[in-house]
Amino acid sequence: MSDRNGAGNATVLGENHEIRHDGIAIIGMSCLFPGAPNVDAYWRNILAKVNAITDPPPEAWDTDVYYDPDFIDKDKVYCKKGGYLGNLASFDPLPHGIPPFSVGGEPDQWLALQLARDAMADAGCTDLPEEIRQRTAVILGKGTYLNGGNALAVEHGLIIGQTLEIIKRLNPEFTGAQLELLRQEMKEVLPPIGPETVPGLIPNIIVGRIANRLDLMGPTYTVDAACASSLVAVHQAMRDLRNGECDLALVGGAQVWMPVPALNVFCQLGALSRRQQIRPFDKDADGTILGEGVGMVVLKRLTDAERDGDRIYAVIKGAGVASDGRGVSVMAPRVEGEVLALQRAYEAAGISPRSVGLIEAHGTATPVGDVVEVQALTRVFGQRDGELPTCAVGTVKSMISHTIPAAGVAGLIKTALALYHKVLPPTLNCDEPNPKLELEKTPFYINTETRPWIHGESTPRRAGVNAFGFGGINAHVILEEYSNHESVSPPARPSSGNHGTSPVLNHLPPWDSEVCILEGATRGDLVEQADRLVRFLDSAIPSENSAEPAFSLTDLAASLNQGLSQGNNTCRLALVATSLKDLRQKLDRAMKRLSDPGCRRIKDVSGIYFNAEPLGRDGRLAFLFPGEGSQYPNMLADLCIHFPEVRECFDRCDRIFAGHARGYGLSDIVFPRPAFSDDQRQWAESRLMRMDSAVEAVLTGNLAMVTLLQRLGLRPDVLVGHSTGEYSAMIAAGILDLDTEERLTSFSRSLNRYYQDSVAHDGVPRAMLLAIGAEREQVAAIAQEAGGEIFLAMDNCPHQAILVGTREAAERALEIVRREGLIYEQLTFDRAYHTQLFAPYADHLHRILADIPIRQPHLPIYSCTTAAAYPTDPSEIRSLIVEHWARPVEFRRTIESLYKQGVRIFVEAGPRGNLSTFVEDILRGQPFCAVPANVQRRSGVAQLNHLVGMLAAHGVNLDLSYLFERRDPQRVDWGATPGTVKRVRSGEKIVLHTGWPLLKLPDDINQRLQRERNGQPSPLAPLPILGEGNQLSDSAPHFQTLGEGQGVRAAPSAMEAYFQTMDQFLSAQEQIMQAYFGGLGDPLPEPGGDEPWWEHSVTVSGNGHDTGAAPVEDTVTWDAQAGDYARPGNGANHGHSDNEPAHETPVSTVGHDRLSDGREEAVVRSITEPVPNSNGALESRAHITRQLLGLVSERTGYPVEMLDPRLDLEGDLGIDSIKRVEILGSYRQQVGNVDGLNLEELTTQRTLEQIIDLLVAGSGEQAPTPDPRGGAQSVRTRSPLPILGEGHGVRAAIPNTNAPNYDFPLLGDVTSWTPGEELITKRTFDITEDLYLRHHTLGPSAGTDDDELPALAVMPLTMSLEILAEAASALVPDRIVVGLRDVLAYRWIAWDDKPQTLRITARYRTRSGSNDHVVVEIRNLTEDAETGESLKSPVIEATVVLSGGYSEPPGSRLPHPEGGQPSRWQAGRLYPDVMFHGPSWQGVTAIDRTGTQGIVATLRTLPVDGFFRSMSDPHFVLDPVVLDAAGQVIGFWTMEHLASGKVIFPFRVAALDLYGPSRAAGEDLTCVAAIELLGDQLVRSDIDVMTTDGQLWMRLTGWEDKRFELPAGFISLIQASRDVEISSSWPEPIAGIPYRERLQCRRLTATFPSDQGFWKRVWAQRVLSRRERDQFRQLHTPERRQIEWLAARTAAKEAVQQLAKARYGLDLLHSDIEIYPDEHGRPLVGGAWTGALDTVPLISVAHSRGVAVAFASLEDRERCPRVGIDIEYLRPRPAGFDEVAFTISEREVIASLPADSREEWLLRCWCAKEAVAKALGTGLIEGPRSVAVVAVDLAGERVAIRLAGELARRHPDLSTASIVARTVRQGDLIAATTLWETADEWPPVLTD
């Protein structure tokens, strides 16, 4: 093989010395690859050798179905590992102006769009001028074989159809409806495909979208050259750039979603790895692994990029493309084709392959492919020349897998970064290179480690990238580093030619740690700074699982260090931290230590430094340079990567020996190539110890470190070198003038030549070196005793002296050393330095030095030969340099003299740090600071940070900006008020579908089919197959199943979309009705206001009763709940009545609203005067705007608040003309065919504003008139609530370092503690741990057992009191809690299903008499995180009183209730009948007496051992159970004595006093309460609890409960019984129907006077299934809509419950019945139980102004195929309504009705139309004209309806029938229902 492919026919190309100037610069990059969301992460992963190849995420494809490791089934896949993007494939459409509903189809297009923007931003091209945009190309590699989106379309369109055909043939008995159901179920698991998403299936749309969104007009197209696609794209772009066709090019490749069939094809070919590991070039390589990714680069002609000052990652010098021609087969790689591509590239570039140091190989890890690739490379590069290979080879496929069309750009980006950062990146999984590669004959080696790219050659660093495509298309690209001769300084920032403002980032790898320095004038200041920083960090890092803070540790460190003073009067604390969390912990530790005045310094190994007496002020500073022995393999490697000036030192050393006969450079041995054998390893190791290399390594290392220290601004007062290190000291002192590279080269080469000559003549004196752990005197004595040629050569420190001598003498000395029991070590090198043995060799140095100018030192330098300052006379200096090699190193004496001279700070400027330990030993016990710049066991940057920290803490001035100048830190304003870290507002990222969804049916359908196939009868019998209701839960509802596995990822967004659709469906109707039936609904937005319209209060009428009587028109405020329950009496909700005359006097009320976003605001609500006519135009404009924006939002998915009417529809919002026609069409349908509305003209407008202008102009009289009464409008002002919390004063340092010693079950972890001052703790409460919460839920669980679907749990107020008491006790540990004052609870702490994290802060306030007062507050961090900012008030706060003992109890002041009588509540039935509390909280045993002003009850203390899952016997400070029982007593009283508002919850306690310790469990206590009603919303009680002997034990004064007026049905929600019936039966609408036992109609009025947001949660937890709960939580609609959603569902569930009970005897829980919408929003009924029925109930729901109704049918489908219901309130209709809602012929029908009932019939007809449209499942798709009233039966209250327009076309079979809708009027409520009866049996004529 080698004969054929080796040097024999190698074609080595030479360097073309004509320098080509047509290089193409890479100026921007972006990428998304497995495990790497961006270029930073990609590069970080590469350097850290991260293997991002994984098992498929569950949503990618189902391994149970498609994975067969044995590949017996050839349709499956034997390799499941891959490079999967998973959740990284997500996209936020809003910033791109993409309507959210359009996001679908091929996922590549969205990611490519994002990455195109990212790459342009990276290039600084965010805002290009038009002339450049016109000349910008977009060329992307993208495969057109089976892509994900197309696969999906096939599934939707063909596979489902085929599957149904098969099913139909197998089951001919299936009805059309059953097949339709199957079809729907199958479609449900697939991501939707519709008009919005279809364009995205066309492959070229990927570049079309980029061109469109970025407005680029150069050539834009995709390229498919399989795996070579992206490099072929680069090739194309280079050509276009070079020939001037374009000026800028965005180039890359994309492969997102690897469908199973594609994987299968590769398995069929045997190309995937059987061992499921990609091992490029390894001997065990057995195939490739496929993956997903996108990468982009921005290219520009180099000359242009230089002109524009762009940052240039690398320069593309040439590219070559060639095909394989006719080889063995079309699939087999061919050497000749690859060679040709390479040759073409090098010829085009005029570059010799020999100058290339790095090859990013194609390296697919197929054995044949790897061998052929190396053969091709070798033919072009030639065989190995010399001992060492010269070119590193690797492939990023080993980390991210093979991303096919994106593979080339993955390699290109990696290689550009390698050149930019001068790093040789590693490749993975090559443990032993494949011997068939015969690498030893080639110039190549496999680089498996991250290594600095040291380069001493005259040509720039160069690299090649291979990409060889399946089918025989080969591409090679040659890159070169860009050097602008300023490479040491930070790279140029884009300037003149740049077109954007975004910062250009360097993509530097992150540091493993940062140093953060705080300072203050005094120690107190310092503690204050630390405290501020702690608070800032706590606010910025809210909880463990919340989002990343907006800044990094690097940002914070840079910001902190930037502000340091250079003055001397400061006190500094330096912390070396690895993360923000680590910093937080170290701050804690430091503050604890600083609080101890006895602490004079902190010098913590982990990196905490502080000095009360800093030495840097007066002490002098010495640099110490180590000698041989300090070098070690890979020393300073990471510093080379982070600091170019360090790497430059090594580059320079390599340059000195470039082309040198010895054949290697220093870097070859300091940064050895990864060794695959011991021989290779030993070669580098032994070289490093050899004298010549050792000297070079030490001097280079020292030079690198001193360069770094100088850049840090360190200025030494004196220099010292140890042995060889004296050269470094002399260079630094300017004695040896080696400033020019020539002189340095000459000196270094002379030293080396001299060494080589001496070696050749055996002239280097050899010796044995012994390091002995003893003082010099003892060691010298040993030498003397040993006799012969052995000498003390170095006196390093008291525990180390070095003996150097002949082997014989040394052996004798060793005997003595052993005898003495001394610790010793034989050193690994053998030069007889510093003894007279070395004198002959040293003498020759004179000759070398003669050529070097010797100058006077410009910095003081000490000699270790004399332990004194260097002489100044050059000849004396020369002598000393030579003498130094023959005399001992007196390091100890030198350090001692320096110390005497006032040197206190010793900085070791070299590798390893030996000298610093010597100094520690020498100066032990005295004040000094010795710090090495580098140690072997820490990374280079970590030690640098420690050095900076130690020196800064000693007051040494440093230029810390140097640490950050290349790393683009963002400024963090940590001094600002905590919590001001702003989050950038953007939309939710949509996770894209990159999986292969499994087409499947729900389990219960399978079972049903199974039964039928087995010939068993279908369960047609009405009575239950399943029997008991509680067995239902054994089989999960089938929706649950759907939500698992395959469907999981699809479910949330798909379901949300469905809900939106459903919500729109309902709200669209309402909008029409509100607009035309009085327009009383939505108020108009304030002109110029920027609030979304729904944020305004909406005043609607509600019906508080379920009777059929005329509704009592209470005005309820729907979206703004009246009054926070903590701030009673402010409700603004009883102001006026809705149907009062329009000229009502203006009313203003003020109330506090708890807004849905949690902000505390006051609302000034006013009822305005009727809008004068002159304002009509303005109002109609506002109305039109609102309506149009609502429509746009509905049709595109943009949130309304984003829709600024001035935005460009196409340009900013991506709303194309088709979409515009659709939107405007619906607008026209909503408002009717208004004259002057020219659709064509409208759709050509650019902005919504222009459209609105036209609409306003055209609307004239037609425009909907505003609410004649004016709308209720809201003006928000800030609440005057006291602001508590964050701004505390300075905290005094408390000298106490113990941790708080406490054992309180509710406090959790201490986050901050200042003994006696302040305690902050954090605890996460969860119903799985805090079991007492399970017994404090509002109602029983919604499931069949308690653990399933728990109801809403709320924290008992008294448990909150216990938390407060515990915190106070912990803060003041030696006192007892005797009471609480001013308890105020602001909000509920409640658990839907997730944990809540509370932060408890206790602050000592004052001592009053013998009492200590501690203020405690609880914040709910979970709530804060949800609302995005800290709420202004805590959830609860109080003052806790502590004392040395309890006070003497006074006598009870409370008389027993006057006129007391026995209670109607029976002992033993108290809780089941009245309360919701579970056993843990059932502390009331009897109500003894009750009266109008008080109550007497018996309480019992209860055990608390079951309160926590993980703590058996908690100790509480209070007795929260008895306290709660005392409070419950008031509840028993209200339930008995009050007719309304009897549900109460406590929120305020003026005082709690305790007169004794907690009582043992099981003791009876007497509770007496005096109760008084305050207004109609509050109950105030004074409560005494006494022992049975009448002694007062506890007193509650001013215990205040808030009363809740729950609508009648809702009280049962919170009671213990599971039987809840919230809605009421409403038989009237179906009264006339013969089979109405199979029908149910129910209605529900849900109006909560206050705390709607809370009751909503209570309600949801009681009626929804788990899946519905999740859906409910995802609803982002206004609260009013959420309530309607719940109400409609509840009514529907209860209707179904009734039917199932009556027909089948089934007892269903609410949660058993799942209501879910189909794709049009029509509600369907589901649940496991439906499988047992012969027919599934049909339902329809409607709501209007707070009333929700549901209509359900269990009737045979033949008889009742569809149901529909609609309701509306009767009210005056505006002018023009009739014309809009009805056609002329409809109006003729109505006009013939009697005048007195025409108004009412108009509405009946309208409802009838709605009901029919809803029954059809689609709604009024074309507005009012979708269906037509054809006749009215006045006596029968029926309306006949016919389908029209599009509906008629869609349903030709229904288009001729008249559908009957039955109508009814109850009070002002009109309802229409339809059972889809046809009107054949009654004449379709008007009846009087």
What DSSP string runs through 1164-1198? EEEEPPPPPGGGHHHHHHHHHHHHHHHHHHHHH--
910 counts as binding another protein under rule CB under 8 A:
no
Strand-pair partners of 1496: 1489, 1568
If the CB atoms of residues 275 and 603 are measured against another protein, the closer one turns out to be 603
Using CB under 8 A, which of the segments 604-612, 1003-1011, 1434-1442, 1659-1667 binds another protein? Answer: 604-612
Q: Give me the half-sphere count of Cα atoms (radius 13 Å) on the Cβ side of residue 76.
A: 15
Q: Which stretch binds another protein (CB under 8 A): 27-35, 840-848, 911-919, 1379-1387?
A: 911-919
Give the chain's largest Cα–Cα span.
140
815 sits near another protein (criterion: CB under 8 A): no
> φ and ψ at 1643, to 5 degrees?
-135, 160
* Binding residue for another protein, selected from 42, 791, 824, 1058, defined by CB under 8 A: 824
Q: Is residue 800 involved in binding another protein (CB under 8 A)? A: yes
Q: Does 604 bind another protein (CB under 8 A)?
A: yes
- Does residue 606 interact with another protein by CB under 8 A? yes
* Site for another protein contains 602 (CB under 8 A): yes
Does the protein bind another protein through residue 822 (CB under 8 A)?
A: yes
The CA–CA distances, whole Å, from 1709 to 538, 1344, 1701 equal 44, 8, 11
Please state the closest distance from residue 800 (CB atom) to another protein, in A.
Answer: 6
Tell me which stretch binds another protein (CB under 8 A): 821-829, 1298-1306, 1542-1550, 1595-1603: 821-829
Q: In what order do the strands lie in the sheet with 473-480?
A: 220-223, 136-142, 248-255, 293-301, 24-32, 314-323, 473-480, 462-469, 358-360, 391-394, 444-446
Listing DSSP states for 1580-1611 in one string gives EEEEEEEETTS-EEEEEEEEEEEEE---HHHH
Residue 823 beta carbon to another protein: minimum distance, rounded to whole angstroms: 5
914: its two tokens: 């030996």
Query: Using the rule CB under 8 A, which residue among 710, 936, 1149, 1411 binds another protein?
Result: 936
Smallest distance from another protein to CB 936, Å: 7
Q: Does 837 bind another protein (CB under 8 A)?
A: no
> Is 1710 among the residues known to form the active site?
no
1128 φ, ψ to 5°? -70, 165
With respect to another protein, which residue has the nearer C-beta, 190 or 794? 794
Shortest CB 819 distance to another protein, Å: 10
Work out how close the CB of 636 gets to another protein at its nearest, in angstroms, rounded to a whole number: 15
Selected range binding another protein among 341-349, 575-583, 920-928, 1183-1191, rule: CB under 8 A: 920-928
Stretch that binds another protein, among 596-604, 1107-1115, 1564-1572, 1634-1642 (CB under 8 A): 596-604
946 close to 931: Cβ distance less than 8 angstroms: yes
The whole-angstrom separation of Cα 473 and Cα 324 is 6
Phi, psi at residue 1844, to the nearest 5°? -135, 170
Stretch that binds another protein, among 265-273, 598-606, 803-811, 1619-1627 (CB under 8 A): 598-606
Which residue among 176, 386, 925, 1590 contacts another protein (CB under 8 A)? 925
CB atoms within 10 A of CB 1560: 8
| Contact between 601 and another protein per CB under 8 A | yes
Nearest CB to another protein, comparing residues 431 and 820: 820
Q: Which of residues 717-776 bind another protein (CB under 8 A)?
A: 773
Binding of residue 589 to another protein (CB under 8 A): yes
Beta-strand runs (E) in 224-365 = 248-255, 293-301, 314-323, 358-360
Are the C-beta atoms of 104 and 156 separated by less than 8 Å? no
Identified catalytic residue from 31, 125, 227, 649: 227
Catalytic entry in 96, 156, 362, 1743: 362
918 near another protein, judged by CB under 8 A: yes
Residue tagged 């050529």 (tokens): 851
Nearer to another protein, 917 or 1103 (CB): 917
Provide CB contacts within 8 A for 215, sequence distance 6+: 133, 1211
Question: With binding defined as CB under 8 A, does residue 605 bind another protein?
Answer: yes
- Residue 571 or 922 with smaller CB distance to another protein: 922
Contacts of 1634 (CB under 8 A, 6+ apart): none
Among 226, 428, 530, 608, binds another protein (CB under 8 A): 608
Residue 362 is among the residues annotated as catalytic for this protein: yes
Q: What residues contact residue 1263 under an 8 Å CB cut-off, 6+ apart?
A: 1176, 1180, 1183, 1184, 1256
- Per this entry, what is the length of the chain? 1888
Contact characters 1560-1589, another protein, x per CB under 8 A: ------------------------------
Say whether residue 603 binds another protein (CB under 8 A): yes
Asked if 640 and 648 touch (Cβ cutoff 8 Å), the reply is no
Using rule CB under 8 A, residue 906 touches another protein: no
Binder among 180, 618, 825, 959 for another protein (CB under 8 A): 825
Identity of the amino acid at 399? M
CB of 694 to another protein, least distance (A): 18
Instruction: Return the sign of the alpha-carbon dihedral for residues 264, 265, 269, 273.
Output: negative
C-alpha to C-alpha distance for 1745 and 1139, rounded to whole angstroms: 13
Minimum distance from CB of 952 to another protein (Å)? 17
Active-site residue, selected from the candidate residues 96, 156, 235, 402: 402
State the Cα–Cα distance between residues 1197 and 1195, nearest whole angstrom: 6
Residue 1297 is encoded by which pair of tokens?
């370092």
| Nearest to another protein of 245, 921 (CB atom) | 921
Q: Quick check: 866 binds another protein (CB under 8 A)?
A: no
Cα separation, 245 vs 231, whole angstroms: 19
Nearer to another protein, 797 or 1132 (CB): 797
Distance separating alpha carbons of residues 1630 and 611, to the nearest angstrom: 87
Q: How many residues bind another protein (CB under 8 A)?
A: 32
Q: Residue 583 CB, nearest distance to another protein (Å)?
A: 14
Nearer to another protein, 893 or 1246 (CB): 893
| 434 Cβ contact list (under 8 Å, min separation 6) | 281, 282, 283, 285, 367, 370, 371
Count Cα neighbours of 399 within 13 Å in the Cβ-side half-sphere: 26
Q: Is 557 left (phi over 0), alpha (psi -120 to 50) or beta?
A: alpha
Asked if residue 920 binds another protein (CB under 8 A), the reply is: yes
- Has 1676 been annotated as catalytic? no
Per CB under 8 A, 500 contacts another protein: no
Q: Which stretch binds another protein (CB under 8 A): 702-710, 900-908, 934-942, 1436-1444?
A: 934-942
Task: Give which of 1409, 1406, 1404, 1434 is closest to 1419, Cα–Cα.
Answer: 1434
CB-based contact 1675:1682 (threshold 8 Å): yes
Return the number of the residue (554 or 611) whose C-beta is nearest another protein.
611
Which of 921, 965, 1393, 1621 forms a contact with another protein (CB under 8 A)?
A: 921
Q: Taking the complex as a whole, how short is the minimal distance between the CB of residue 629 and another protein, in angstroms?
A: 11
Write down the least CB distance from residue 892 to another protein, Å. Answer: 13
By CB under 8 A, residue 677 contacts another protein? no
Cα gap 651→795, rounded to integer Å: 35
Stretch that binds another protein, among 533-541, 935-943, 1641-1649, 1700-1708 (CB under 8 A): 935-943
Q: Is 799 a binder of another protein (CB under 8 A)?
A: yes
682 binds another protein (CB under 8 A): no
Instruction: Point out the residues that are catalytic.
Output: 227, 362, 402
**Which stretches of the chain bind another protein, using CB under 8 A?**
589, 601-606, 608, 773, 797, 799-800, 817-818, 821-826, 913-914, 916-918, 920-921, 924-925, 935-937
